[in-house]
Amino acid sequence: MERLDFDYVIVGGGVAGCILANRLSADPNRRVLLLEAGGKDTSPLIAAPGGLLPIMLSGAHAWRYMSAPQAHLDGRTLYLPRGKVLGGGSSINGMAYDRGFHSDYDRWALAGNRGWSFAEVLPYFRKLESYAPARNAWHGSDGPIQVTRAAQNHPFARAFLNAGVQAGYRLTDDLNGETRDGFGTVDLTVGKGRRSSASTAYLRPVLKRPNLTVLTKAYSRRIVFNDTRATGVVFRKDGTDILATAAREVILSAGAINTPQLLMLSGVGPAAHLAEHGITVVQNLPGVGQGLQDHLAAHVKYRSTKPWSMLRFLNPLRGALAMAQYLTLRTGPLADPGMSVACMVRSDPAPDEPDIKILLVSALFAQNGRKMEPMHGFYAHINVARPESRGSVTLASADPDTPPVINQNYNATENDRRVMREGVRIARRIFAQTAFDEMRGEELAPGPAVETDDQIDAYIRAYAEADYHSTSTARMGSDPMAVVDAHLCVHGLQSLRVVDASVMPHLPGGNTAIPVAMIAEKAADLILGRI
């Protein structure tokens, strides 16, 4: 077998992998290999924020996974695309810059993970961003990722903010600042009209470093161990298996689905489950693949009486004009992902913090974004911010080419069902305000006949969709189900770390790309011995 020698081998060229490749290769004496199963992020649709629409409709640049049948969603299987391209999810997502709640990280620290409180991770959030609206105690201005405030000039967006005030909610100036309570404008990972992904922000500027090697279309097969020390990774490229050795560390940044799969294929995981597939156990860690969390999304959809939705840009002439405007001026519809306002609200007065997130979408999508309805409209995209339900990632086979079994176990607790149900009612109340009178047509979903708790629950079971925020399958901690410690080192093994959404003890109350970027920035300092 061909052999390549490095100091660090990073598996996964997504958000965390790109950041680690940059930070670890800054020392010219450290040889770094980044392995990415997908291709390069050269498509102009990735660069253009408005290119999100065709990326979603085509499913391009993604692992096109499907969930296991969901027991609490009428046994349905849900589409689960994962980034398969340099930059990972940050190259194909909706570009929302969202940190979650301050308390999310305080809960991580209270669970025994020293160094992960919000006060301790805030410097890393500030380090990674160049925040255009303002530099203040909450934001930085000289980081690699460009962050701008979404425009509020769309009539749907203005109506949403006004409706929030009319419904009795507050406006908040910064959903990623002191408080997330209320209605506000979304921050986007966009700069100068271009998507600011982890690849463009961190990887491209350093590709010419002689000590950094980036290989795409490289499929990691297994981690190699010498007793309990990780010594390298076997990957397949162009049909040939190659061994990449790691003199210092192997770092898994393949995401909350592929990281636990690779660990288990390599003999690290629940011993009984590995034995079922004839895999020799290197380390019995029952928590590998367990504790999976993800946001579930329900929708309240309305037809628009005005032709203002993104549907108009599917017209070939309008689409061509939009592309010309974007290429020449970096403005127009292709410079806007179409999701610019959101709110954080409470399902009832009791919670200390909001427990529902609602995002306004200026089009009528179906089938997880793979289809656009042929009519103008808008809808509320509703999440239970911090769900209780947990599922698992398990092996279907010892063959690395066989997708794992992904069971989020969505909607499994009564509280998750209650909060989502109230989210639907709150969205309806927002859209019923006079701010939407000019544009509101009939309610398309759930539909005016759906009113009782049982009816709303049935609608959610039948139509809710995955929201692509998988976490917690190799979580931090010191309890028997924890997989890594607070330094992200795998328990019981040497020279092996996990740096991605897998390590989150629980799902934050927001999108996950920026929390993963924070984790990677902090991990780089941990690996280099700076903290």
In-domain check, residue 71: no
Give the percent of the chain with pLDDT over 70.
Answer: 95
Choice among 469, 487, 491, 506 that is catalytic: 469
In-domain check, residue 76: no
Residues 329 and 380 in one domain: yes
Distance CA 394, CA 220 (A): 17
In-domain check, residue 396: no
Closest CA relative to residue 254, chosen from 15, 484, 482: 15
Residue 313 has pLDDT above 70, yes or no: no
Residues 46 and 131 in one domain: yes
Asked which of 435, 463, 491 is the last residue of a domain, the reply is: 463
Give the H or E element holding residue 269: strand 268-269
In-domain check, residue 120: yes
In-domain check, residue 72: no
**pTM confidence score:** 0.96
Residue 54 has pLDDT above 90, yes or no: no
Alpha-carbon Rg for the chain in angstroms:
22
Contact 147, 97 (CB under 8 A): yes
pLDDT at 369: 65
Domain harbouring 276, CATH code: 3.50.50.60
Distance CA 342, CA 381 (A): 9
Tracing tokens 């981690």 back to the chain, one arrives at 223
pLDDT at 185: 95
pLDDT confidence of 309, banded at 50, 70, 90?
confident
Secondary-structure breakdown of the chain: helix, strand, coil percentages, each rounded to the nearest 5: 30, 30, 40
Q: Across residues 513-523, what is the average pLDDT?
A: 98
Helices (H), 302-441: 316-329, 414-431
Is 29 exposed, middle or buried, given 0-12, 13-18 or 19+ CB atoms closer than 10 A?
A: exposed
pLDDT confidence of 34, banded at 50, 70, 90?
very high
Distance CA 121, CA 119 (A): 6
pLDDT confidence of 56, banded at 50, 70, 90?
confident
Expressed as residue numbers, the domain containing 422 is: 151-185+296-386+412-463
Angle, helices 155-166 vs 414-431, to 10°: value is: 110
pLDDT at 50: 77
Residues 139 and 169 in one domain: no
pLDDT at 331: 67
In-domain check, residue 246: yes
The conformation of residue 202, written as its DSSP 8-state character, comes to I
pLDDT at 49: 86
In-domain check, residue 92: yes
Residues 132 and 160 in one domain: no
Residues 47 and 163 in one domain: no
Question: What residues contact residue 267 under an 8 Å CB cut-off, 6+ apart?
Answer: 225, 274, 279, 280, 281, 282, 283
Residues 451 and 474 in one domain: no
Residue 469 is a catalytic residue: yes
Distance CA 64, CA 253 (A): 18
Residue 336 has pLDDT above 70, yes or no: no
Contact 473, 290 (CB under 8 A): yes
Residues 333 and 435 in one domain: yes
Q: Across residues 364-383, what is the average pLDDT?
A: 85
Residues 484 and 458 in one domain: no
Residues 358 and 335 in one domain: yes
Domain harbouring 437, CATH code: 3.30.410.40
Average pLDDT along the chain: 94
Distance CA 412, CA 485 (A): 28
Residue 337 has pLDDT above 80, yes or no: no
Residues 255 and 115 in one domain: yes
pLDDT digits (tens, 9 = 90+) for 457-510: 999 999 999 999 999 999 999 999 999 999 999 999 999 999 999 999 999 999
DSSP 436-475: GTTTEEEEEES-TT--SHHHHHHHHHHH-EE-S--B-TT-
Give the H or E element holding residue 24: helix 15-24
pLDDT at 312: 65
Q: Across residues 508-516, what is the average pLDDT?
A: 97
Residues 376 and 516 in one domain: no
In-domain check, residue 58: yes
Q: Which residue has the higher pLDDT, 329 or 492?
A: 492
The conformation of residue 368, written as its DSSP 8-state character, comes to T
Total structural domains in the chain? 2
pLDDT at 9: 99
Distance CA 97, CA 514 (A): 6
Angle among Cα 304, 385, 364 to the nearest 5 degrees reads 20
SS3 track for 465-529: EECCCCECCCCECCCCCCCECCCCEECCCECEEECCHHHCCCCCCCCCHHHHHHHHHHHHHHHCC
Distance CA 16, CA 169 (A): 36
Residues 305 and 356 in one domain: yes
pLDDT confidence of 315, banded at 50, 70, 90?
low
Q: Across residues 422-429, what is the average pLDDT?
A: 98
pLDDT at 51: 79
pLDDT digits (tens, 9 = 90+) for 199-248: 999 999 999 999 999 999 999 999 999 999 999 999 999 999 999 999 99
